[in-house]
Structures are given as structure tokens and as C-alpha cells.
Amino acid sequence: MFKKLALLTLIGGISLSPGTFAQSTDWGDVAGGTESGSPQNASSQNTGNDPWGNEPVIPEEAPESVAQQPQGELACGEDDPRYSQIVPILKSIKAGEQVEPLQTSFTTYVGLNSKIRDILGDNIVISSPDCSEQFIFEGVLTGKVSVPFAEQWSVINDALRVGDKKLLQFVIENTKAAPASAYTLISLAQYAPLEGQQLDRFYSVFQPAKAEAKDKTPPLMLDIFIQLGGSVKEDDRGVMAYVGSGPHFSPSLEAIFLPDGAGSVRHSISGREISNQVASLLTAAGLKSTVMGKTGAEEAAETTK
């Protein structure tokens, strides 16, 4: 991780990230912070019926650097170190010379200046942490890239915050969420931290039918994960999730428990159908699920082996 962060810093002059990617592993904060775009700030950027506004300006120049050759065996999902010294490679490509394709992580690829990306052309292979690879052919990925959902959400959040619709569409069309653990799935059973203009932008691309609704509820993070092709890891497939709901006079989702001490997440989400909705999503992702009172759910999980 340190090597990857160091490399991204080195190529910062030639890469474009519309904003700092959200780094928190706490899903409740992943789109938060002072730069996340509160309703007050969003109102000043409102462009009427189109929530996207103008596209961001892309820098034109790349700094000088020197190395050209790939350096040894790279780990899956790691960036080619030649990115830190990219200009000689760009010059070679423009001169019509053959260049060994650069192994590139998803986050580096989407952050590249579009001019740099166009010059590199087909000389890129996108590598995922699961060791799957996708090549570029005439500017188009040959298949969907498997990406950890945390990285997908960071890019989505970044695109929504600054109004980069093309970036958001790229994520939807060219990536799929990598399988996640049962514990990660139950942790995603909470509303996405979106509001105002960001929420309008999200629905205009993900669910256009909801884009014009006056009172929009943010989507569940678990729902976004599934829409992006996510599912539970094979080792956790079929694990029972006990969804604990609140009392009838105060319907809500209170907690989700996994069996045999495998983990639990405490929630407090109001809504008459929220527990059943979450249970259905967990089932769609590959778990088994059942809804019962919070106390009964906890006891059932403790006695299940």
C-alpha cells in the first residue's frame, strides 16, 4: 500500500483525480468531510435540470522523467514503476516505437490525464488484486475490471462530488465489484451518505426513473454493491445472516448477526420494510437471511455453528 501511495504521488503531475479519493473504511464517513458536498455547498453549483454542470478542466502538460523499461515481476494490481518516469515512454509511442504494455491499477487508470491516456492507447493492461487482467483495444477495455468495492465507491464519490459524469459512467460500464466477505456485506447495510446535488447526480445515472422524484431516499450501500456486480466470497456463500428488527410500534433495522461469533453490526435504520429489504439484498448477494426480533436474532446467531 505504501509503494502504491508513493507511486501515485510521483505521477500526480500527469494524472487527474477530480478530488481526493475517500480513504475511510468506515462506510458511514466515506463520502463525508468538508469536501463531500453538503446541500448548502451544492446549491451554489446547481445547474438547473442538469445536476452535472460543466466538466472539469484537464491539465495539458506532463513533467519530464527518464525510465523506459519494465522492472521485474509486478504483484497483481500493482502499478508499473515506469509511471514515475513516463515522458520517455510517451515520446517513444509518439515516434511509433514498440513499448511493453504498462501494468496499471484501476485507480491509477481512472486518474490519468486524458491526454496521457490517449497517447498510451493500447499500451496499458489493467491489473486487479485478484490477478485478473483487462487490455485496452482502440481505447476500450476488453472486459470489466474486478475492483474492490471500497475503490469503486471512492471513484464514484469523487465523480459525484465534482460532477464528472463520464467518470461515473466509466465505472458502471467497465468495472465489477470484487467478491466480499459476509461481514463486509452486513456492514454495507446502511444508507449511502449522499444528499442534495450528489444524490441527484447518482440517480440520474444509476436509476434515472428516480432522478425527478422530489423526496429521494439515498440508496443502501449494499444495493449499490450488488448493482455493480458484487456478491459474497465463495467461502462465505450460504452463511446465515440474522437480521434483527425493532418492535412493531417502532419498525427499524437494529442489528445483523453472523453465526458462531463471525461478526455482527449494530444498525439503527428506521422504516417499516427496511429489515426485509436488507434481508432480500443479502440473499441476492449469496447469503441466507432471516428476519426476527433483535434479541431473537442475537440468540439464534450464538447457537448456530
- 244 and 142 within one domain: no
- 122 and 18 within one domain: yes
How open is the CA angle 194-197-198, to the nearest 5 degrees?
A: 35
- 19 and 147 within one domain: yes
- 278 and 138 within one domain: no
Q: How many domains does the chain have?
A: 2
In the prediction, which pLDDT does 85 show? Answer: 87
For residues 147 and 144, what is the distance between their CA atoms, to the nearest angstrom?
9
pTM reported for the whole predicted model: 0.72
pLDDT (tens digit, 0 to 9) for every residue of the chain, 305 residues total? Answer: 444 544 444 444 444 343 333 333 334 334 333 333 333 333 334 445 666 765 544 444 444 333 345 456 889 889 999 998 899 999 999 999 999 999 999 888 888 887 888 899 889 999 888 888 888 887 778 889 899 999 999 999 999 999 999 889 989 999 999 999 999 999 999 999 999 999 999 999 998 888 788 888 999 999 999 999 999 999 999 999 999 999 887 889 999 999 988 899 998 898 889 999 999 999 999 999 999 999 999 999 998 86
Q: Which of 194, 200, 198, 193 is nearest to 214 (CA)?
A: 200
Kindly list the distances between the CA atom of residue 157 and the CA atoms of 20, 23, 79, 162, 180, in Å, as whole numbers in the listed order.
10, 11, 23, 9, 20
In the prediction, which pLDDT does 53 show? Answer: 66
In the prediction, which pLDDT does 72 show? Answer: 64
Instruction: With beta carbons less than 8 A apart as the criterion, state whether 134 and 103 touch.
Output: no
In the prediction, which pLDDT does 54 show? Answer: 55
* Position 182 in a domain: no
Domain boundary among 112, 127, 152: 152
- 273 and 140 within one domain: no
* Position 301 in a domain: yes
Domain region containing 277: 238-305
* Position 192 in a domain: no
* Position 231 in a domain: no
* Position 57 in a domain: yes
- 143 and 8 within one domain: yes
* Position 214 in a domain: no
For residues 196 and 178, what is the distance between their CA atoms, to the nearest angstrom?
29
Domain boundary among 125, 152, 179: 152
In the prediction, which pLDDT does 198 show? Answer: 93
Domain boundary among 130, 152, 174: 152
* Position 256 in a domain: yes
**What's the chain's Rg over C-alpha atoms?**
22
For residues 106 and 98, what is the distance between their CA atoms, to the nearest angstrom?
23
* Position 187 in a domain: no
